[in-house]
Amino acid sequence: MSKGVALITGAGSGIGRAIAERLAVDGYAVMVADIDASRADGVAKSIVASGGKAASTAGDVSNEKDVAAIVKAAVDQFGPVTVLVNNAGHVHQALFVDLDVADFDRMFAVHVRGTFLCTKAVLGPMLKAKSGVIVNVASQLGQIGGIELTHYSAAKSAIIGLTKSLALEVSAQGVRVNAIAPGTTLTESRATKLSADPARRSAMLARIPTGRFGQPQEMAAAVAYLASPAASYITGQILHLDGGLTAY
């Protein structure tokens, strides 16, 4: 019997994929959502082949109509969403002086508007049921900032504020809202970039107390915990998964 229905955005690769796979193992029916339909479909098929329950859908989380379609696909396939993981993201690096309005707006559209729209789309039924879990994916950069990542850091900081504020509004009605704040995580694309720049890799590792980068599966384990009954007394929190970097 399914533990519930989990909708994970940006689940076609990286941390999102690891979260989808972990929640499927934990017994959730998983809707894999991604802007890339083929990647989403590939993840869903892999989960099903491993014995899990999953389906896929595609759309842009910054687009209100797409979000409505994504949530409808999850509900039609499995039933009301009981766990939402707002993971979809957009990465772009540039010095602040080189950023234009389109760069800034796109970053906030995907991260902040996307989190808002997806949450808005599932929150009503959760409140009616007096039960639900929302986990947002922030970043260590939302706390400490990053060179050439001003717009990204600002967007992730906004997600932290959204998480805490919404938790204050809805936790008494049975809906818990938390966030994870990953540090550098060795997704396939990130690992490739770091391998190509050994000096930067060494400099980054030197700042991390544990002396290593995170793994997507570690981020997924934290989400699985926050989604579980074991975390029933946890809401409005930002779980820092960064090897101790933000402890400084």
| Residue 1 banded pLDDT, cuts 50, 70, 90 | low
Catalytic-residue membership of 152: yes
**CB under 8 Å, gap of 24 or more: what pairs does 197-205 form?**
none
Using the predicted structure, report yes or no on whether residue 216 has a pLDDT greater than 70. Answer: yes
How long a stretch of residues is the chain?
248
> Pairing relation of β-strands 29-34 and 53-58?
parallel
Average pLDDT score over residue span 87-107? 96
What is the pTM assigned to this prediction?
A: 0.96
Cα dist. 73→32, 64, 83, 191, 217 in Å? 10, 14, 15, 33, 26
| Residue 2 banded pLDDT, cuts 50, 70, 90 | confident
Average pLDDT score over residue span 86-99? 96
Catalytic option among 152, 225, 233, 248: 152
pLDDT of 27: 98
